[in-house]
Structure 1
Amino acid sequence: MNSFSRQCRLTAASLAVMTVAAGAAACSSGSGGTSTKGPGSGTYAVWDPYPQFDKTSAWAKLLDQCGTKAGVKIKRTAFDTSDLGNKTLLAAQQGNSPDVLIVDNPVVSTLAEAGVLTTTDDTKLVTSKVDPNLLAAGQSGGKTYGTPIGANTLALYYNKKVLKQAGVDIASVKDWNSLTAALAKVKQAGKKGITFSAIGTEEGSFQFLPWFWGSGAKLTALDSSQGVSALTLWKDWLKNGYAPNSVLDNTQTTSWQEFASGDYAFAENGTWQLAGAKKAGFDYGVLPIPAATGGNTAAPTGGEFVTVPVQQDTGRYATSEKLVTCLTSADSLYDTDTTLSYVAPTSEVQDKQVAANADLKPWVDAVKAAKGRTSDGLGTTYPKISEQMWKAVQSALSGSKSPKDALSAAQSAAK
């Protein structure tokens, strides 16, 4: 499943709505997580954003197995990602939260700030094996709220045949200058350069972030010279015909369809397209997105966190911790992350994944360099910043503003 196709529906606006959703209509009856029985027995509620998996799926069976190990029954409810955050806030207001909540990582800080989630100190959940850069997406105010179940991120897919015809050695692509030089050769050879998504939604920000961070820019200063250089890079690619004007409207899905046509040298896309890449009918490779002056840039992490919402009966936390630990154990992570096309959040399981599928090696490298969108202490301020970022990208690429003016306006609005 394309994980980000679920995430990209969580726009900045919908995230902002979550903070006031407690005043909206009550959620449907029977979906909460409390039990009339004491802690450590009875039924424990698990909410997840995987409605594509029914009760016969490996995921549902894993939940039941973890419940059996903990001595409880599992009542699972699956929501579309765009609904899950609001449902969680409403349930918390009613004192009817699920025992375990699996939620997109950008939403964790919003729920934490609203007082909905416990910390790992509350539940005694051990997260020492999790890669710190992935765990950071669920940290706010010096506290950790849950643990990642897996991660995906962005990299560059490339068409080996197109590059060969253009006389481009992929080993030469190490920074922005060498990538742009490769695109020029591809165009000269009569082929198309690179496609990506610059649509005016969170999806556009998600795709721009590797270049923004790769310039050395920070989200607290959108209009820095580094940030301007990143947006200028994209603008120049369009101006020189290295990228199509369709990127302004491209989702990651339509961008992928362009690459799958076989005419493009590069496409920025995610781990979730691996299955599609194998079906495309041409030899491809994967390259971590280069930073401006070389090395792998930080790309944003996608994926969910397994969290424990606050309960009136704190005695339930011990069993909830057992459930979370089971779901995120090495064996469970390997199976689950394979199903979800995720890279595991621990080196132990990542090594196992690469041993089973060498195609995952560049993705593991990319995930190790990745960063949460709400990291760097941004928390709930990220959605507002992101909205101004994607508006700036749209303004600059459409030609209505220069990259510098677009980002200056974005920074003023973000404040």
Structure 2
Amino acid sequence: MKKLMAAVLTATVATGLLAGCSTGNGGNGEKGSEAAGKQEVTMWGSMSGDAVEYINQMTENYNNSQEKYHVTYAVQDSMEEKLVTAIAGGDVPDIVMWDRFTTATYAAKGAFMPLDDYIAGDKVDMDQFYQPTVEEMKGNDGKQYGIPLTVDTRILFYNKDLLKEAGVNPEEISTWDALKTAAAALTKRDAGGKLEQSGFSLSDPGLFNNWILQAGGKMVDDTVTPPVTAFNSDAGLAVLNYWDELLNQEKVYDLGFEDGFGGNGFKAGKVAICFNGPWALKSLDESGISYGVLEQPEGPGGVRSAIMGGFGLVIPSKAKNADAAWDFIKWWTTQPENGVEFAKLSANLPANKNAAADDYFMNDEILSVFSKTMLYATTRMPVPGYSDVEGLALRPQLDLFVGGTLSAEEALATAQKQGDKILAEAASK
């Protein structure tokens, strides 16, 4: 990833110079002569830290590309709550960088403006985007409320030095069974049984939603009304039984093992294989660790899958400068070179398939694997109440399972009962 880091470092210096006039709210804030005569357009987003510089670079690129509009970015904590409050008060931003996952929920609350007329008027081809991201930004009424901007997913990261030392060939880690075998070979414990090196990190039970797809199952059955949970199934049991083999039979991981390494045993060189996403690339490159990546492993039925996340751009209802907002959204999302540029700056992968096919990604040994994974990745199901099923019903039971408090059957049955209640209540609203 030397190429990626060189691009990031170069861009950081450049954007640091451009951001010299930044306002305190994280925007690029250039209100002087450069913006004179232009219509002011405000964009909100939750991306902060270094990401502000990268977004400012993109808004400056846009501002310098035309003479009508001037976009300024402002960081917002508690984005959803602030947007709803702003809409109620009538003082809203013109654009929001939005987590696609919650689009349908907030569209139903009247938070966003449908973009179908803009799309039709400018003949925007929505097939240029990964289709799951397009569907994720639709409302329950079938209207398009946003345009996909970025995508992300998790793939397998491995420590090249640790695998070489153990004689493990990373190219053979293509199935659950192969992953288990490699993880066992890469695990080290002292004479007293204390874990010194983990073969595979199982620190995040929240990735169950990805594992169950590989097992041939799904989280929710939306073919019935109201929808019901579908994870208490043979596929769900297959996932938890596999985790049990890793934790309690092969003993490749101990809960809490990574706490002593700032929560990141892989970066510390104490975890040989883990799931991670593109957001980790900069930090890993800076650490100097020698790492490689692999696509998702195939489940017991030969299924390879991944969960796709990421952001899109929306126009809030009551936005005062909707036409200007659309011009900026169209510029950033439909011109592949802009998706490539943002990726070079921030390592955020483009939702535009034409951008993702650029040589910058396909000729890079790391980024090309992410691009391949996106071809079979899918989004979470756009079902009302889904996020609470994961966060409030399933996750607590999975934590109890991996902690040894509940059996697999008990955990899934309890989560099913709670999850079905959440889905029924959400459907009735």
**TM above 0.5, one fold?**
yes
Going from structure 1 to structure 2, the CA distance change for 1:95 and 1:362 (only over 3 Å counts) comes to: same
8 A contact 1:102–1:305 mirrored in 2: yes
Question: SS state of the match for residue 45, structure 1?
Answer: strand
Q: Deviations over 1:100-157 (max 9, x none)?
A: 1111122222211211112231432733311112323323323322122211111111
Aligned mates of 1:211, 1:163 — CA distance in 2: 23
For residue 372 of structure 1, report the CA deviation from its aligned partner.
Answer: 1.9
Matching residue within 102, 119, 133 for 1:107:
102
Matches for 1:113-192 after TM superposition, within 5 Å: 113-124=108-119, 126=124, 127-141=126-140, 142-187=142-187, 191-192=197-198
For 2:61 and 2:273, how far apart are their aligned partners in 1? 42
- Check 1:295–1:159 CA distance in 2 against 1; reply closer, same or farther (3 A cut): farther
> What letter matches 1:49 in structure 2?
S
Matches within 5 A, 1:22-171: 42-52=39-49, 57-67=53-63, 69=66, 71-80=68-77, 83-124=78-119, 126=124, 127-141=126-140, 142-171=142-171
When residues 404 and 74 of structure 1 are mapped into structure 2, their CA distance, relative to the original with a 3 A threshold, is same
For residues 284 and 159 of structure 1, the distance between their equivalents in structure 2, rounded to whole angstroms, comes to: 5
Deviations 1:375-396 (A, max 9, x none): 3x32443333333221121011
Aligned counterparts of 1:219 and 1:158: Cα–Cα separation in 2: 28
Conserved in 2, the CA contact under 8 Å of 1:222 and 1:389? Answer: no
Q: Deviations over 1:213-259 (max 9, x none)?
A: 21122111121110121122122211131122227x869x944x211
Amino acid at match of 2:371: V
TM-score normalised by L of structure 2: 0.76
- Alignment partner of 1:298 out of 297, 305, 310: 305
Q: In percent, how many aligned pairs have the same letter?
A: 21
CA shift for structure 1 position 168: 2.2
Partner of 1:4: none
- Code of the aligned partner of 1:59: I
**SS at 2:313 equivalent:** strand
- Whether the 8 Å CA contact 1:392–1:406 is kept in 2: the answer is yes
Could you tell me which residue of structure 1 aligns to residue 390 of structure 2? 385
CA contact (8 A) 1:210 1:297 kept: no
- Counterpart CA distance in 2 for 1:229 and 1:294 is 11
In structure 1, the partner of 2:213 is 213
Q: CA deviation at 1:188?
A: 7.3
Mapped pair 1:346 → 2:352: yes
CA distance in 2, matches of 1:398, 1:120: 46
- Which consecutive segments of 4 or more residues in structure 1 shift more than 6 A? none
Q: Is the 1:67–1:323 contact (alpha carbons within 8 Å) kept by the matching residues of 2?
A: no
> Does the aligned pair in 2 maintain the 1:287–1:362 contact within 8 Å?
yes
Higher relative contact order (CA 8 A, sep 6+): 1
2:252 aligned partner: 242
The whole-number CA distance in structure 1 between the counterparts of 2:365 and 2:243 is: 31
Residues in 2 aligned to 1:53 and 1:284: alpha-carbon distance in whole angstroms = 23
Give me the whole-angstrom Cα distance separating, in 2, the residues matched to 1:312 and 1:73: 15
Contact 2:217/2:235, CA 8 A, preserved across alignment: yes
In structure 1, C-alpha distance between the alignment counterparts of 2:291 and 2:127, rounded to whole Å: 36
Distance 1:342 1:73, change over 3 A: closer
Measured against aligned partners, the alpha-carbon deviations of 1:324-368 in whole angstroms (never above 9, x if no partner) come to: 011222222112122221221122211223156332111112233
Q: 1:341 to 1:321 in 2, by over 3 A?
A: same
The question of 1:403 aligning with 2:403 is answered: no
For the aligned residues, what is the CA RMSD? 2.8
Q: Are 1:48 and 1:77, in contact at CA under 8 Å, matched by a contact in 2?
A: yes
Larger CA deviation: 384-393 vs 290-299: 290-299
Offset at residue 58 of structure 1 (A): 4.5
State how many pairs are aligned: 361
Secondary structure in 2 aligned to 1:406? helix
Write the letter of the residue equivalent to 1:337: A
Shift of residue 54, structure 1, vs aligned partner: 8.7
Separation in 2 of the partners of 1:130 and 1:84? 25
